Amino acid sequence: MTSSPRSSWLLLAVVFLMASGCARTSPGTAEASSCAQDETPLSRAPFSTAEVEEAMARGAGQLPELMGGLSSVLEKIQVPPGVSTGGERVRVLVEFVVDEAGCPRQLRVLESPDDALSEAVLQAVGQSRFKPGAVDGVLVPIRMELPTSFRTER
């Protein structure tokens, strides 16, 4: 459990990447300074996690790997003061594309009980970096999801 020093929030370490245990090594790395949040089109349509897992089954795919681990995302989430879940666990689900440079792009919230929580998670994920994923030895953009659970103290 990680608590936010700026609020009475407890951030449960129930953050995980879909199929994150599948990625072991990747053919490239991303530099933190190389990711600009711009609207430049991707070089190709993103692969889905399922497509990469299919390539992995034949030994030809690798999912993106979160640099710094999941704790690196947890440390970046600044839960807004005054937001309360009344002690109940809530979930924010974010979808994004990890591009060939390992940068998260096209971020969007799929599920959230609160706009302020959504913004906090989007900002943290947007600042994160990944080792890019690959299919058949080629770095490719890959669509992923990140579910994050929160619970406030009563």
Report pLDDT for 63.
87
Q: Is the pLDDT of residue 72 over 60?
A: yes
Q: Is the pLDDT of residue 17 over 70?
A: no
Report pLDDT for 139.
92
Show the domains of the chain with their CATH numbers.
2-25+43-152 (3.30.1150)
Question: What is the percent of the chain where pLDDT is above 90?
Answer: 32
pLDDT, tens digit (0-9, with 9 covering 90-100), for 50-70: 888 888 888 888 889 999 988
Q: What is the mean pLDDT of residues 21-29?
A: 33
Q: What is the pTM of this model?
A: 0.71
Bridge-based pairing of strands 133-135 and 9-11 is unpaired
- Using the Cα atoms of residue 71, residue 54, residue 92 and residue 121 in order, give the sign of their dihedral: positive
* Higher pLDDT, residue 18 or 136: 136
